[in-house]
Amino acid sequence: VTAWLIAVLTALGVLLWGMVKADLEDDKVCRWLARHLICRAASRLPCDERARWREESIQNAFDLPGRLPPLLWALDTYVRAGRWGRMRGAPSRSQVLLARIRAAWQRLRSLPTAQARARTQQLHPASIQSPPASENASTYLIDMCRARISPADLTPLKESATKLAQLLRDVEVVEYRGHGL
Amino acid sequence: MDGLPRTTINVLRVLRVFLEDPATERYGLEVGQAAGLRGGSLYPVFGRLEDAGLLVSHWEDTDPSEAGRPRRRMYRLTTEGVAYARQALAEAQQSLTPSSDRGPRLGRTPGLPVPGGGSA
């Protein structure tokens, strides 16, 4: 089993190395990689300094002759970017991660409060936007009729529903008056 | 000026390159190659020297399409920078040269005669 594993891993390694080597022999790939590394390095710097250093680093890297020197220049910039960023006042990766975790924890802790607040708003009479009872009744009646009766027989029922709606509206008006509204 | 930067080997290397001809403007790659530094070590030094007001920089005033290359960021030492560089390099030179009256630092054992007379 061990021999097979070693053979498979070796074959995979050879394959991967072949792919990487072929990619690195391509000038476009090297340039793309160098640019990408420099952009990543610049993203570790404070926001107001990123554009300047990115442009300068890319210009310097691409001024180097050959395929690999620009890549090595970019790689060196990328590897030391964390220290450089901290020197310029940017937070480190661990600080950013810690701040994100803390923010997520705060959101998680305030979740029940937010839910309770939303529920309160939903249940508050001022926020209830339900249609009048008469409209509800007529819609219900029409729906019932559509379900059971053919469209031809619907007209008299619609009229009845309208009448009922009118009646209910009058009842509501009377109720409002009763409450002094 | 934010205060003088810490005088590291990299800072001294960069200052030495600029001191070869203080009036000449140089760009990053040129300085890096002369000082034997790559981007990751070079740019922080530039940043520190600029913050301290010892170095000034500006984008090259050329048209990239005419020049056939992207514009470069040019650096030059300020007057304070030249004075600081000379002093820092002189101090570094002095600290590396053993002074004659102290004698060799290695092998100096208490009780043994010090070269030049007297006893330790």
Does the pLDDT of residue B117 top 50, yes or no?
Answer: no
- Whether A87 and chain B come into contact, CB under 8 Å, resolves to yes
- Best mutation target among A60, A64, A71, A88 (most B Cβ atoms within 10 Å) is A60
Cβ atoms < 10 Å from Cβ of B71 = 16
* Tens digits of residue pLDDT in A38-80: 999 999 999 888 999 999 999 999 989 888 899 999 999 999 9
Q: From B74, B40, B38, B51, select the one nearest B5 (Cα to Cα).
A: B51
- The predicted pLDDT at position B82 comes to 94
Per residue in B81-112, pLDDT (tens digit) is 999 999 999 998 888 876 655 544 444 444 44
- How does strand B55-59 pair with strand B73-77? antiparallel
Q: Within chain B, where are the H helices?
A: 9-20, 28-35, 39-51, 64-67, 79-96
DSSP designation for A127 = G
Q: Which of A35, A45, A54, A56 to mutate to test the interface with B (most CBs of B within 10 A)?
A: A56
Query: Edge-to-edge strands of the sheet including B26-27?
Result: B26-27, B73-77, B55-59
What are the angstrom distances between the C-alpha of B27 and each of A61, B5, B17, B24, B30?
Answer: 12, 20, 11, 10, 6
Contact A35, A27 (CB under 8 A): no
Res A156: pLDDT: 74
CA distances from A47 to A50, A83, A96, A172, B119 (A): 5, 16, 14, 62, 62
User: CA A122: distance to chain centroid?
Assistant: 26
Contacts of A85 in chain B (CB under 8 A): none
At a CB cut-off of 8 Å and minimum separation 6, what does A5 contact? Answer: none
Q: What is the pLDDT of residues A86-124, one digit of tens each?
A: 888 888 888 889 999 999 998 888 888 877 877 777 766
As a whole-number percent, the residues of chain B with pLDDT over 70 amount to 79
pLDDT at residue B116 is higher than 50: no
Give the helix/strand (H/E) hosting B74: strand B73-77
Task: For chain A, give the number of residues.
Answer: 181
Looking at every residue in chain A, the average pLDDT score rounds to 81
Nearest residue in chain A measured CA to CA from B51: A88
Do residues B102 and B108 lie in contact, with contact meaning Cβ atoms separated by under 8 Å? no
Are A84 and B28 a contacting pair at CB < 8 A?
no
| Cβ separation B40–A58 shorter than 8 A | no
Candidates A140, A175, A181, A180; CA nearest to A158 is A140
The pLDDT of residue B114 is 42
A–B interface: beta-carbon pairs under 8 A:
59
Judge whether A162 is closer than 8 Å to chain B, CB to CB. no
How many Å lie between the alpha carbon of B88 and the closest alpha carbon of chain A? 21
Nearest Cβ partner of B44 from A61, A72, A84? Answer: A84
Distance from CA of B36 to the nearest CA of A (A): 12
**Residue B56 forms beta bridges with which residues?**
B76
